[in-house]
Amino acid sequence: MMLQEYMEEQKKHIDARLKELLCTDVKAFETLYESMNYSLNGGGKRIRPILMLAVIEMLGKNPRPYLDMACALECVHTYSLIHDDLPAMDNDDYRRGNLTNHKVYGEGMAILAGDGLLTYAFELMASQKQIESSKIAAIISTFAQAAGPAGMVGGQAFDLESEGNMEIGIDGLKLLHKAKTGVIFKTAIDIAAILGDATQEERNALDDYALYMGLTFQITDDILDVVGDSHVLGKPVGSDEKNKKATYATIFSLEEARRLARQAAESASTSLKPFGDRARILKELVEYMLVRVN
Amino acid sequence: MMLQEYMEEQKKHIDARLKELLCTDVKAFETLYESMNYSLNGGGKRIRPILMLAVIEMLGKNPRPYLDMACALECVHTYSLIHDDLPAMDNDDYRRGNLTNHKVYGEGMAILAGDGLLTYAFELMASQKQIESSKIAAIISTFAQAAGPAGMVGGQAFDLESEGNMEIGIDGLKLLHKAKTGVIFKTAIDIAAILGDATQEERNALDDYALYMGLTFQITDDILDVVGDSHVLGKPVGSDEKNKKATYATIFSLEEARRLARQAAESASTSLKPFGDRARILKELVEYMLVRVN
């Protein structure tokens, strides 16, 4: 199967399951559920859950029983976007071509929609009866660490404090990327390694892949903010330069950023060597991240 | 031991442990950790974790190994207060006599402090190696359900939507109380029941206790907003009436609210009958909730 076909197939399952998950029969909670679903089903590419399922498959397991785990990952990703877009944070009006959550439901409800999605993700992870509970505890511990104050939330706090400060330099940029974006890609892969019973050698290879693949994604994201088409991206471009935000495309030249992205993608592919032919989809996925236009 | 002495003793352990938990050596994350600790160590009475530990003890187990579980509960309680106080929610400037989190650290950082505490609580719960992982999964599932969109977050959303609407009536009030406040008391007790291996009969008794004890707490809270001393409470009084908020003390007369609180406290005590003498601390705790002044 080609990558595009593979991604569409997985996305179909993920989208269908995400539509089923969050519903309520309590009238008083309806607006909250509507606002959570608005962002959750607002056209995400589902890269993180697809990545998780693809790694499980590469490890020789059927990924289907782990669909809800993948959906939990998307819930946490969506919560982070809703909170990032708030006026007190990045103050963005559009996301994926739609109005951001707080533009539709108001700030208070958007904060709660994020809180709800984050908490629900843990409920979903903890309730997977078909998975051994020792694995569930390990997954939640790994995941919460990655998404919490020492990971994604920390990265967002650093981002908030360093906005308008181009002086954070390449080390600051690396930390920011690692904590804010890379960490959830890495977690998607860590969870897959737990569920797929990866050996130590396989884990080491996956760690390298996660690092370079996340970097490829991030540099491309930074480049797209400069050269992307706002209609295709579904959000305005040029905001990083306007906000004097240190990114790979504002600290380096575009040419240099492109070279770094290409280098990261090659390192990502190389790290999958131990998996031989089984790595084809994941190699193509990193290529896709490099050439993506949205 | 008398209740007050018991509470002080437990609070000492909880306070000490909470002070140890959240620290970072990453300079870029320092403000975030400071803001989380500001609210976490801002003079909370620790009623929820004390309740959890007391129930475990009543069930005949040593509560000490479960101190971190109790601390996780306090982290989630603190997150909910930080987000509730935000300008987009209740817009409160003071909490426990101190400036609210966003008044000190700004709105963006306060949102992140809440996100960080919530996520960290799940990390803490999932990382308790001395607890069987089947219990950990059950606890996280129970807890996330209670704190999430069908519980506390839902209650807060309903509260947000119904502010200024006294028409929600007694049914709306009950739902609001159950979802917003009662649910975390109930969860503290549910977690204790799991950790303390409660029998079905014990669970039923504890369910009743949780219901009536939470109600006692809530009605007293509503009464204090009318007749409390703002210096002792550490926050302004009269805000419910000003915001036309439906509470037990604005829908009912003060006299009727006091009668309902007393009735709930008696039902809470009665429900502990199966535990005999071992229930003394928990009976005193509900009395304390009735007569508390802050």
Selected residue of B111, B136, B156, B171 to mutate for chain A interface (largest A Cβ count, 10 A):
B111
Closest chain A residue by Cα to residue B124: A141
A217-221, A241-245, B65-69, B125-129, range with the lowest pLDDT: A241-245
- Judged by CB atoms closer than 8 Å, whether chains meet at B32 and A109 is answered as no
Rounded to a whole number, what is the distance in Å from the CA of A169 to chain B's nearest CA?
13
pLDDT for the residue numbered B1: 65
Count of C-beta atoms within a 10 Å radius of residue A17: 15
Chain B residues whose CB is inside 8 A of the A86 CB are: 108, 111
H helix or E strand, kind and range, residue A250: helix A248-251
The alpha carbon torsion through B168, B146, A116, A136 (nearest 10 deg) reads -170
- Confidence at residue B278, expressed as pLDDT on a 0 to 100 scale: 95
Q: What pLDDT score does A19 carry?
A: 95
In angstroms, the CA B69 to CA B53 distance is 9
Lowest mean pLDDT segment, chosen from A89-103, A245-259, B48-62, B164-178: B164-178
- SS3 (DSSP) at A145: helix
Burial call B161-199: b when 16+ CB within 10 Å, e when fewer: bbeeeeebeeebbebbbbbbbbbbbbbbbbbbbbbbebe
Tell me which of A102-106, A126-130, A235-239 is least confident. A235-239
B21 part of contact set with chain A, CB < 8 Å = no
Amino acid symbol at A55: V
Q: Check CB contact under 8 Å for B116 and A148.
A: yes
- Average pLDDT across chain A, whole number: 92
CA gap B236, B234 in Å, rounded: 7
Closest partner CB to B154 (pick from A29, A89, A149)? A29
Q: What is the C-alpha separation between B49 and B51, in angstroms, rounded?
A: 5
Q: How many CB pairs under 8 A join A and B?
A: 182
Residues of B with CB below 8 A from A144's CB? 119-120, 122-123, 126
The minimal CB distance from B133 to the residues A109, A133, A148 is found for A133
Look at B157 and A112 and tell me if their CB atoms are within 8 Å: yes
Question: What is the reported pLDDT for A167?
Answer: 76
C-alpha distance from A75 to closest chain B C-alpha (Å): 13
CA dist., res. B84 & res. A79, Å (int): 17
pLDDT at residue B250 in the model: 85
Q: Comparing B248 with B195, which gets the higher pLDDT?
A: B195
- Contacts with B119 from chain A: Cβ below 8 Å: 118, 144, 147-149, 153
Does residue A163 carry a pLDDT above 90? no
Write out the two tokens for B276: 């005999």
pLDDT of residue B233: 75
Among the partner-chain residues B24, B83, B147, the one whose CB lies closest to the CB of A111 is B83
Q: How far is A281 from chain B (nearest CA, A)?
A: 32
**A106 contacts in B (CB within 8 Å)?**
88
Cα–Cα distance, A209 to A264 (Å, whole number): 9
Nearest to B26 among A26, A145, A154 (CB): A154
Check B127 against A141: CB less than 8 A apart: yes
Q: How far apart are CA A65 and CA A63, in angstroms?
A: 6
Q: How is chain A split among helix, strand and coil, in percent rounded to 5?
A: 75, 0, 20
Q: Which DSSP string corresponds to B242-278?
A: HTT---HHHHS-HHHHHHHHHHHHHHHHHHTGGGGGG
Report ipTM for this prediction: 0.94
Q: How far is B2 from chain A (nearest CA, A)?
A: 37
Please, which residues 107-126 of chain A have a Cβ atom closer than 8 Å to chain B? 107-109, 111-112, 114-120, 122-123, 125-126
Higher pLDDT residue, A182 or A35? Answer: A35
Q: How near does any CA of chain B get to the CA of A2, in Å?
A: 37
pLDDT at B243 over 80: no
Copy the structure tokens of residue B284. 């005193």
A37 pLDDT above the threshold of 80 = yes
**pLDDT computed for residue B245 by the predictor:** 78
Q: How far is B147 from chain A (nearest CA, A)?
A: 7
pLDDT tens per residue across span B70-111: 999 999 999 999 999 999 999 999 988 899 999 999 999 999
Residue whose structure tokens are 């928990």: B282
Give me the residues of A, 204-223, that contact B with CB < 8 A: none
pLDDT at B154 over 70: yes
Tokens 């131990």: give the residue.
A274
Please tell me the distance from the alpha carbon of residue A130 to that of residue A140, in angstroms, as a whole number. Answer: 15
Do B209 and B279 touch, CB atoms closer than 8 A? no
**Run of H or E including B152:** helix B152-162
pLDDT for B254 beyond 80: yes
The pLDDT-based confidence of A1 (bands split at 50, 70, 90) is low
A9 touches chain B (CB under 8 A): no
Distance CA A291, CA A284 (A): 11
Instruction: Return the sign of the alpha-carbon dihedral for residues A47, A48, A51, A56.
Output: negative
Tell me the average pLDDT across A278-288: 94
Higher pLDDT, A247 or A236: A247
Phi-psi category of A229—alpha, beta or left, where left has phi over 0 and alpha has psi -120 to 50? Answer: beta
Structure confidence at residue A225 (pLDDT): 86
- What is the DSSP-derived secondary structure letter of residue B44? -
What percentage of residues in chain A have a pLDDT greater than 70?
99
Instruction: Give the Cα separation of B139 and B192 in Å (integer).
Output: 9
Give kind and range of the element (H or E) at residue A95: strand A94-95
Question: What token pair was written down for A134?
Answer: 């020792």
Answer yes or no: are the C-beta atoms of A87 and A107 closer than 8 Å. Answer: yes
Domains and CATH numbers, chain A: 3-289 (1.10.600.10)
| pLDDT confidence tier of residue B179, bands split at 50, 70 and 90 | confident
Distance from CA of B274 to the nearest CA of A (A): 31
A178 or A112, higher pLDDT:
A112
**How far apart are the C-alpha atoms of A18 and B131, rounded to whole Å?**
32
Which residues, numbered 47 to 86 in chain A, qualify as contacts with chain B under a Cβ-Cβ cut-off of 8 Å? 83, 86
Residue A207 has pLDDT above 70, yes or no: yes
Among residues A116, A59, A114, which one has the least CA distance to residue A84?
Answer: A114
3-state secondary structure B59-90: CCCCCHHHHHHHHHHHHHHHHHHHHHHCCCCC
